[in-house]
Chain A
Amino acid sequence: MKRVMKFLLGGLLGASVFSVETGARAATNWRTGAIVGAGVMQQPSSQYFLMAYSANAFLEFAPAKAAISLTAFGRPRFSAGNYEDQDFGGLVELRKGVAARGSFSLGASIGGGQMRGYVKSKEVDGTRSDYRMDGVSATVDLRYATGKDARFSAQLSHTMFSGLSTALETKARVAWPWSFVMLGIGYSA
């Protein structure tokens, strides 16, 4: 997964540079862009809303209203008393615009990635417990685009990540869902 994400990220960065150098304009064909956001997340088995942030880079093929996007999620380190924890995540998704009206568009994305994090107890010799979980993801986003060639955008998105179970857990219908609700702003060229 890490190799795939590195390859895709490299491709996106390369495409961005190519886009800038050639002056390729997306309005007619394809474009690259980035969105940064902040919002809330929920961990599996938890009904707490926790603050989170996100960064997204995408390569969009305009005629098909389709895009490939890379999204990184993070939750700031929480530390209180002898306890500390933090979560991260990375997703690769394919997005398709499914509806549009004026400057607004609705998009649906599916993909996958990995969530990881740790829990640390400072009391017991700094014992730290890490987790990593691969899974599938789905996102719905409502995007508002403005400016020349609609380069500036604001976006409200909801992502659901479902950690894939082991074979034993699958038999027991066990899955680990994370939820994210993010408000972001972006720029594309």
Chain B
Amino acid sequence: MTNRIVLALLLLAACLPASASAANGKIRKVSAQYAAFAPNAGGQVTYGLRASWNDREVGLFQNHYLTAGGNPLVGAVYAFRFPVCDESCMVHMHLQTGIGGTSAGPLAEFLWGTEIPLLPLALNGGTIPYVPMLRVDLASHWVATRSRLIMWSYPFWVGVTLPF
């Protein structure tokens, strides 16, 4: 019991610099995404690697469900992040709009993201450096191919975020 209290106090103490860091806008994050749901068994395997700072995010992704020229679709995106509930919230939510390119054509991204610290809910510390967060996105990609505009959905794109 004592150990748990000490652990809880240590985690709470860790929240203090985190709050200050978030207030200064110095939080940086890297996210790794693995899979998204899809209207078929198995979902879609979509690897994503993203880095964010100062409400900007850059990302690389590869979608094995879609192909371009016979190869999995690959793309890069530069996005602007608009916090709905900012870094001080227990669950951080944001809207992102971005532009980029893929192996099939130019890309526009609309993304609604949620990041949940992997901590007991009682420790409401917001975004805490070095504490991993579960990231769940709803994302919509508009890809302008040579022949048509494709609107592709990534319902529940799941990943892990590490703030620092």
Contacts and interface: CB of A to CB of B under 8 A. Distances in A.
Interface of A: 42, 44-45, 47, 49, 96, 98-99, 106, 108, 110, 136, 138, 140, 158, 160, 162, 165, 172-177, 179, 181
Name the 10 nearest CB pairs between A and B, nearest first. A173-B43, A175-B37, A98-B82, A177-B153, A108-B95, A162-B155, A138-B112, A175-B155, A44-B39, A172-B41
A108 to B, nearest CB: 4
A55 to B, nearest CB: 22
Contacts of A106: 82, 95, 97
Chain B: interface secondary structure?
strand
A99 B153 contact: no
A104 to B, nearest CB: 13
B84 A98 contact: yes
A174 B82 contact: no
Nearest to B112: A138
A2 B124 CA distance: 34
Nearest to A135: B155
Interface residues of B, number: 26
Contacts of A108: 82, 84, 94-95, 112
Chain A: interface secondary structure?
strand
Contacts of A173: 35-38, 41-44, 156
A96 B84 contact: yes
Given A173-B42, A177-B153, 15 more contacts: A108-B84, A136-B138, A158-B140, A160-B110, A160-B138, A160-B155, A162-B156, A173-B35, A173-B37, A174-B39, A174-B43, A175-B155, A176-B155, A179-B151, A179-B153
Contacts of A110: 84, 93, 112
Nearest to B148: A47
Nearest to B140: A160
Contacts of B151: 42, 47, 49, 179, 181
A140 B153 contact: no
